[in-house]
Amino acid sequence: MMDETDQKILNALIADSRMSQKELAARVGLSAPAAADRVRRLEERGVIRGFTVDINPEALGYPLQAIVRIRPLPGKLHIVEQLICEIPEFGECDKVTGDDCFVARLYVRSVAELDGLLDQIVDNAETNTSIVKAKPVERRMPPFIRD
């Protein structure tokens, strides 16, 4: 279980994962070695899986995002999963229960590009696509982490 100091560390790193160990320690009231040790233990326990950068796809020329529900045809599940993994425009994909097997997010430059990407899997799956208009909630951590 996490204590209050671990939660403070996580909140600080969520806000700025590039901060120095010295700055992190000052924010949470520990020495730099103690803060580093806490971070190391959080990594070892699998709480912290890595440090990343938040990139804006639109700034890289991908102004459209689409959410695609994918239902593989009978016997095609593994083929469809492999195709999804091989197409770099699939930015993320979840394997889910229910009528569809996959829910994926694609980053594309145009609707025509989206159509071309979906054409690569249409022989193996049915799809239902929605264009993302806005993200009222950006990706965030579960509510157990408190300030």
Q: What is the pLDDT of residues 83-119, one digit of tens each?
A: 999 999 999 999 999 999 999 999 999 999 999 999 9
Work out the mean pLDDT of the chain and round it to a whole number.
94
Identify the domain containing residue 123 by its residue range.
Answer: 57-131
pLDDT at 67 over 60: yes
pLDDT at 147 over 70: no
Q: What is the pLDDT of residues 2-60, one digit of tens each?
A: 899 999 999 999 889 999 999 999 999 999 999 999 999 999 999 999 988 889 999 99
CATH number at residue 95: 3.30.70.920
Q: Report if residue 39 sits inside a domain.
A: yes
Q: Are residues 40 and 62 in the same domain?
A: no
Q: Are residues 27 and 70 in the same domain?
A: no
Give the DSSP letter string of the chain.
---HHHHHHHHHHHH-TT--HHHHHHHHTS-HHHHHHHHHHHHHTTS---------GGGGT--EEEEEEEEEPTT-HHHHHHHHHH-TTEEEEEE-SSS-SEEEEEEES-HHHHHHHHHTTTTTEEEEEEE----SS-----TT---
